[in-house]
Structure 1
Amino acid sequence: MADVKTRPNPVQWLWYALGGRLPERCREWVLHDTTSRTWVWRHAARSTVLLAPLMAVWLLLPAPIGLRLALVLMAALVGYFYSFVYMEEAAENRLAKHGYPRGTGKRIRAEAHREEDEAALERYIAQYRSGRS
C-alpha cells in the first residue's frame, strides 16, 4: 500500500466527523487522523462539529440570555466530557470501520511514546525504589 495519505474533501470530512465511512483511498489518512500527535485536537474538532448545532439551537431559543448561555455551557460540558471519556474507543471504532484491526490505534500511539514512557519508568524507579531490596 502506498504511503500517500489522501485527505478527504470538506464534505467527506463532515460525513466522517458525523461517523460515516470514507472511501478506501482515504484509509491511510484515517490511520493518521487517529494516531498522529494531534489526534486529541482532531477528536475535539470532530466533537465540536457534533455539538455546535445543538448549542446554536439552544442559543437561539426564545428565553432570557442567561438561561440560553447556561444551556449552551451545560451542553458543551456534558458533550465534551463524554466525547473525551470515550475518545480512544471512538478512534478504534473509526479505524475498525476502515478495515484496521481493533487495537491498532492504541498500539501505534503507544509505540510513538515508548521511549518517553521507558525514560519516565526509569526515573520513577531511580527516585522511589532506590535503596530497597
Structure 2
Amino acid sequence: MSVARPNPAQWLWYAFGGGLPARYASWVLHDTTTRTWWLRHIVRCVVQVAPFVVAIVVLVPGPLWLRLMCSLGGAIMGLIFSISYMHETAEHRLVKAGYPPGTGPAARAERTADRDAAAAERYAARYRTPPAA
C-alpha cells in the first residue's frame, strides 16, 4: 500500500505542530507508529529548536562562546522537554489526523507483540524453569 507523503513545506508545517489534510492521515499513522517513530520525533524537535539557536548565535550581542553555550543550553532543555512528552505529542498528532485516542500505543504494541511474546518466553525459560539436578 502506498502512503501519500507531504511535501517539504507541509512537513515543516507538520513539524511545527500544524495539521495535515485528511489524505495524509495514513502517513501520520506511519510517522507516529513506525519502528523509528521516536527518532522522527527528535528530528522534528531539532527542526523546531534550530531557528532559535541560529537567532541567538547571529543576533544576540556578546562573545561567541557565550552565545553558543546559551544556544546549546536552550536546545538541550528543549530536547529534554520534547522527549518527556514524546508519547503525548505523538498521540495528539494522531488525534488531529482523525484517529481515536489510544491508536498510537495500540499500533506500536501490535507491531511488537511477536517480539514481546518471544522475549517473555525466553525469560520464562531462563528464569522460571527449575535448574536441572
TM-score, normalised relative to structure 1: 0.89
2:18 is aligned with 1:20: yes
Q: Contact conserved, 1:4 with 1:28, CA < 8 A, in 2?
A: no
Q: Which residue of 2 aligns with 1:36?
A: 34
**5+ unaligned residues in a row in structure 1: which ranges?**
none
CA–CA separation in structure 2 for the residues paired with 1:32 and 1:108: 10
Residue 77 of structure 1 pairs with residue 76 of structure 2: yes
Matches within 5 A, 1:47-86: 47-60=45-58, 61-86=60-85
Q: Secondary structure at the match of 1:99?
A: coil
Q: Percent identity?
A: 51
For 1:89, the equivalent position in structure 2 comes to 88
Letter of the aligned partner of 2:127 in structure 1? Y
SS at match of 1:8: coil
Equivalence for 2:123: 124
Q: In the TM superposition, what whole-angstrom CA distance separates every residue of 1:25-46 from its partner, at most 9, and x where no partner exists?
A: 1111111111111212211121
Q: Report the 3-state secondary structure (helix = DSSP H, G, I; strand = E; otherwise coil) of the residue aligned with 1:130.
A: coil
- Tell me the CA shift for residue 129 of structure 1: 2.6
- SS of the equivalent of 1:63 reads coil
Q: Relative contact order (C-alpha < 8 Å, sep 6+): which is higher?
A: 2
Q: RMSD of the alignment, in Å?
A: 1.5
Structure 1 CA distance for aligned equivalents of residues 79 and 126 of structure 2: 36
What SS does the aligned partner of 1:89 have?
helix
- More displaced stretch, 92-101 vs 69-78: 69-78
After TM superposition, the score normalised by the length of structure 2 is: 0.89
